[in-house]
Amino acid sequence: MKRLALILLSLTLVACSGDDSPQRIHQQIYVFGTLVDITIDGAERERAEAAISAIDADFQRMHREWHAWKPGPLSAANQAIAAGKSAVIPDSLIPIIEHSRGLETRSEGLFNPAIGGLLQLWGFQADTPPNGPPPSPESIARWVDSGPSMAQVHLDGNAISSSNPAVQLDFGAFAKGYAVDLAIERLQEMGIANAIVNAGGDLRAIGRAAGQRPWRVGVRHPQGKGVLAAIEVSGDEAVFTSGNYERYREHEGVRYMHILDPRSGMPVQGVTTVTVLHENGALADAAATALVVAGVEGWPHIAKRLGLKAAMLVDEEGIVHLTPAMHERLSFEGEPPTLDIVELD
């Protein structure tokens, strides 16, 4: 079904060309459970189309190879680790594992892609998380005590194993950013200078719109009501938002969000969204998740540890906590929210 949607969308290639503006090629790809928009300005049509189909093929392969719980090489590796065995993984997973290891350390363990077992316990490794009572406090405590970490993941060439059978890899907080970076790399290799790859509001841009103006992008509204603010992006920059409102489970009126705090094993509370601006999409994606976990008190410290300059956290009351560098970049749409500007040092 998803494949069919992709093929149909692939046929809806739109190109618009004004008298004074260079050609724009725009196409949507369905992957990672979302629509990815690719916009390329001022490139020859053939070159742009070739780049988009290369990215499409890359994305579909990544989706297969990086899925944490649907049948595939990563879920097979997770099964092997749980059984105390080793497994062979595709090349594409090796840099993800290495890169995320460092980000786990720098985020003081708040971003932890070895968290798959806890996600499964909470029912988040499913297309639709089940409603019903949360897992038992004992089972959550058992997971926390088992202390899974990327530091316990051992790679020998393409063979993966772990000293801790509780390690279960899930790159849901990071894969989109990593994939967007690879797409931008692919575009640059193919000589494309002005483009934007937008995966459901999480994006990275290079160059300028029509080769002239900054790209103007929207930051999603925390209550899912369109756009909270606009940001102008030019050069090479990523904008990632971690939402704690889209995926959740509910029981007796309580919502349990899909971003989990590895320290307590519990869903994060008190934070609605975090947005991070950074030149690297993978880092921006992981950082947005880590800052959600860090919460209203802890986010500036983790932002500093991750080397961020521009970050924003919207709390449950709708108060927008943000760094001066982020403040400079935003123009709020509609009624301006209450702002809390936080210096990182």
User: Which positions touch Mg ion (CB under 5 A)?
Assistant: 173, 242, 285, 288-289
Distance of alpha carbon 233 from alpha carbon 204, whole angstroms? 9
List of long-range contacts for 216-220, beta carbons under 8 Å, 24+ apart: 218/333, 219/275, 219/312, 219/330, 220/273
With CB under 5 to 8 Å by kind, the binding choice for 259 among ligand ADP, Mg ion, none is: ligand ADP
Is residue 280 near ligand ADP by the rule CB under 6 A? no
With CB under 5 to 8 Å by kind, the binding choice for 58 among Mg ion, ligand ADP, none is: none
Is residue 113 near ligand ADP by the rule CB under 6 A? yes
Among 59, 69, 124, 215, binds ligand ADP (CB under 6 A): 124
With CB under 5 to 8 Å by kind, the binding choice for 172 among Mg ion, ligand ADP, none is: ligand ADP
For 78, list phi and psi in degrees, rounded to 5: -60, -40
In the stretch 206-245, what mask flags binding to ligand ADP with x, by CB under 6 A? Answer: ------------------------------------xx--
Is residue 265 near ligand ADP by the rule CB under 6 A? no
The helix (H) or strand (E) run that includes residue 206 is strand 202-207
Strands 330-332, 227-233: parallel, antiparallel or unpaired by DSSP? antiparallel
Q: In terms of CB distance, is 204 or 258 closer to ligand ADP?
A: 258
Closest residue to ligand ADP, based on beta-carbon distance: 172
Binding span for ligand ADP by CB under 6 A among 156-164, 183-191, 203-211, 286-294: 286-294
Q: In terms of CB distance, is 288 or 293 closer to Mg ion?
A: 288
Q: In terms of CB distance, is 129 or 300 closer to ligand ADP?
A: 129
Is residue 262 near ligand ADP by the rule CB under 6 A? yes
Q: How many CB atoms lie within 10 A of CB 183?
A: 26
Q: In terms of CB distance, is 189 or 246 closer to ligand ADP?
A: 246
Nearest to 75 by CA among 53, 54, 90, 56: 90
Work out whether the CA dihedral 159, 165, 171, 172 comes out positive or negative. Answer: positive
Q: How many CB atoms lie within 10 A of CB 97?
A: 17
Q: In terms of CB distance, is 167 or 293 closer to ligand ADP?
A: 293
Compute the least distance from the CB of residue 28 to ligand ADP, in Å: 18
Compute the least distance from the CB of residue 149 to ligand ADP, in Å: 11
Residue with tokens 């102008």: 232
Cβ neighbours of residue 306 closer than 8 Å, sequence gap 6 or more: 103, 106, 107, 283, 287, 290
3-state SS class at 194: coil
Nearest to 281 by CA among 187, 190, 145, 192: 187
Among 25, 51, 115, 284, binds ligand ADP (CB under 6 A): 115
Please name the residue ranges forming H helices in 115-255.
Answer: 116-121, 137-146, 175-189
Is residue 289 near ligand ADP by the rule CB under 6 A? yes
Is residue 259 near ligand ADP by the rule CB under 6 A? yes
Compute the least distance from the CB of residue 56 to ligand ADP, in Å: 21
Compute the least distance from the CB of residue 288 to Mg ion, in Å: 5
Distance of alpha carbon 169 from alpha carbon 110, whole angstroms? 15
The site for ligand ADP (CB under 6 A) is made up of: 110-113, 115, 119, 124, 170, 172-173, 242-243, 246-247, 258-260, 262, 285, 288-289, 293
